[in-house]
Structures are given as C-alpha cells and as structure tokens.
Amino acid sequence: MKTIDLMSDTVTLPTQAMRDAIYNADFGDDVFGEDPSTNRLEEMAARLMGKESALLVSSGTMGNLISLLTHCSRGDEIILGDQAHIFYYEVGGMSALGGILPHTVTNQPDGTMNLDDIETAIRGDNIHFPRTRLICLENTHNRCNGIPLTPEYTASVIKLAGKSGLKVHLDGARIFNAAVALDVPVTELTRGSDSVSFCLSKGLSAPIGSLVCGSCDFISEARRIRKTLGGGMRQTGVIAAAGIIAVEEMTKRLSEDHKNARVLAEGIAEISGLHVEPESVRTNIVFFDLVSDRLQDITFEAELEKRRIRLLKLGPSHFRAVTHYGIDTGDIETTLRALREIMS
C-alpha cells in the first residue's frame, strides 16, 4: 500500500531522468570552479532569475543565511515578516552566526507586510539604533497558505527599500510555484531584488540544492561565505545534474500540484469537523484545522497513520498538506475518502 506523503514537497524523490543525468554527468572540483555541470546550472539559474551570477548551495536555509551574511555586518538589522521562514524555521542562524537582528513586521494573511509597517520599522540615523540593512520577502509565502506575492507588491517594497538605501533579499524557495500561479515570467518576481534564493529540492523534485542569485560582486562574496560555512563542496555535478533537469523540466508541471491542492481543499471544506478556506489555496500548500471536539487530534493523527497518510502537524489541531510530483489525483481522492471516513 502506497504511503500518501503530504508532509512537504521536500519529500519528492529524484526522477528517472535525474538519476540518469547524475550517472552520466561530467565532474570536476567545484571549489576550484571546475565542475562543468555546476557551472552550467549556475549560469542557467542566473539567467532564469534575471541576475548576473548564481551560486549552488546545499539548502534553502544555507542560501538565505549566506545571502543575509553577505548583505549585513554584525549588529545590522533586517526587516522581515513575523511568519517568514527565515525568522520561524532557520534556527536563528542570522543571529547565531552573523550577529544580525531580526526586526519583524506583521505578515498579512496574503503574505505581504504593509508598506507603512515596513517604513515604521526602518531605523533612523541615531547612535542608539542598529542599522537597518535589508528587507526580506518570501515568495510563495509558506506560512501564509503558500500564497504568491505579485510583481506589483514586490516592486513597491523594492522602491521603498531604495528610498532608504536598503537592500532586498527574496526567499524564493518556491518562486516557480509563484510564477506559475500568477502566470508571469519568474523575472517579473525577481526584478530589482538584490538577491534571490530558490530551491531545487521542493516541488522541482531534485534531491539536494538551492541557488543564490545576484550581481557578480554579491555572488563572489557569497562564495567566500559559503566556504567559511564549510559549504564549499567538490564534485557537485551529482547535485547539479539533477538540478538542471529540475529547472528545465519540472517547472513545467507545477500547475498539476496547484490543481490537486485546490481539489483537496475543496473536498476538505465539505467535511464537517474540518475547516479550510479553499479560495486561499493558490499554489501547492493547504492548511486546515480540526474543529470537531468529538475527535481528539491524537486520534485524528493515529487514524491517518493507519491509512498511511502523512500530514504536517503545526499546532494542536492545525495541519498542513503539500501536493507535489509524488501525489496524483487518485491520491487526493484516497485522502479525501480517508478524511470523510475518519470524521464520520
């Protein structure tokens, strides 16, 4: 019996084309800049994001950390949403390793931060204050229902940052999902940002890797910081070969995941005892709540486990389901049938 794993799109396994590409890849030592597959992937990534240069790193967390460490010095402050992945789930790396302070601003349900709130958070020139250096955006916004930020909103934050001499970093772990959902080229969402990171190992199904993209100067400094963190790897063609397939092929099928997520949400909305807002589901992430007090969440989880369905539990009765390459329409039907059965 198949396990229907809706925990995250990070659980996707490499496709056969990726396995073949890894097997057949050319290799070299990437610390010396001599891995041909990595060089090719970095060039592709830079071009796709509309930036001069790119750097392969091990994970989204490392990509964000390296970007922040490259933009900021110790004692600098960054402005980011209170629901941002960088703030919530990245182990406080910016402070632990970079001496950087997070200044959080409320994330609205649509993943944005109000421009007024951002403006208020920007520090004035005062000897008592840390220096504000950077604003971070996240697209799609994981904890805000995987919602895509529009090009217009992104441009308005970049304009505001520019007025105060601040840089903008975009955590674009799922930037291709955003582009597909909004039906715009990725470059519309990255234009004007000083750095952007995106992941190969989420909806794009590669086993490992993220790319940081920016100007040549930014990336050459980021490369030094990657080395400092022990992230200079050698025959990274094993990662890049799969990554090339990820960006060339796997971006084309993301709309299937979005459709499946919407069908799942619409189905959940009809089940008494569960609550979801299907219209808030724009990409591949579905959050829902158990609102029935008849069923303890512990029983709910055990019942799901019995049926080999995995979800991510984010609160006592708050759950997340993420659709991806390993989930088809049949799995969505099976999941809905199981949920109906459990709740009846």
Binding residues vs ligand TLP (CB under 6 A): 8, 10, 59-61, 85, 89, 138, 142, 171, 173, 199, 201, 210
Shortest distance, position 316 Cβ to ligand TLP, whole Å: 18
Shortest distance, position 189 Cβ to ligand TLP, whole Å: 14
Q: Which two tokens stand for residue 241?
A: 């070969």
Give the nearer residue to ligand TLP in terms of CB position, either 15 or 210: 210
Residue nearest to ligand TLP (CB): 60
Shortest distance, position 34 Cβ to ligand TLP, whole Å: 25
Give the nearer residue to ligand TLP in terms of CB position, either 271 or 284: 284
Return the exposure string of 139-159: e unless at least 16 CB atoms fall within 10 Å of the residue's CB, then b. bbbbbbbbbbbbbebbeebbe
Residue 91 and residue 72: Cα distance in Å, rounded?
18
Residues 6 or more apart from 114 whose CB is under 8 A from it? 105, 106, 108
Q: How far apart are the first and last CA of the chain?
A: 23
Residue 312 DSSP code = E
Name the residue among 84, 322, 325 with its Cα closest to residue 197.
84
Shortest distance, position 10 Cβ to ligand TLP, whole Å: 5
Are 123 and 133 in contact by the 8 Å Cβ rule? The answer is no
Shortest distance, position 125 Cβ to ligand TLP, whole Å: 32
Are 302 and 221 in contact by the 8 Å Cβ rule? The answer is no
The sheet carrying 195-199 orders its strands as 53-57, 210-214, 195-199, 167-171, 131-138, 76-81, 101-105
Q: Which two tokens stand for residue 275?
A: 């609550």
Give the nearer residue to ligand TLP in terms of CB position, either 5 or 138: 138
Strands 4-5 and 309-310, bridge-based pairing: parallel
Kind plus residue range of the DSSP H or E element containing 277: none
Give the nearer residue to ligand TLP in terms of CB position, either 77 or 138: 138
Shortest distance, position 71 Cβ to ligand TLP, whole Å: 16
Give the nearer residue to ligand TLP in terms of CB position, either 60 or 243: 60
Residue 124 and residue 130: Cα distance in Å, rounded?
9
Are 252 and 275 in contact by the 8 Å Cβ rule? The answer is no
Give the nearer residue to ligand TLP in terms of CB position, either 63 or 267: 63
Name the residue among 67, 87, 8 with its Cα closest to residue 257.
8
Shortest distance, position 255 Cβ to ligand TLP, whole Å: 19
Kind plus residue range of the DSSP H or E element containing 129: none
Give the nearer residue to ligand TLP in terms of CB position, either 179 or 342: 179
Shortest distance, position 50 Cβ to ligand TLP, whole Å: 20
Give the nearer residue to ligand TLP in terms of CB position, either 89 or 129: 89
Give the nearer residue to ligand TLP in terms of CB position, either 76 or 138: 138
Shortest distance, position 56 Cβ to ligand TLP, whole Å: 13
What SS3 state is found at 54?
strand
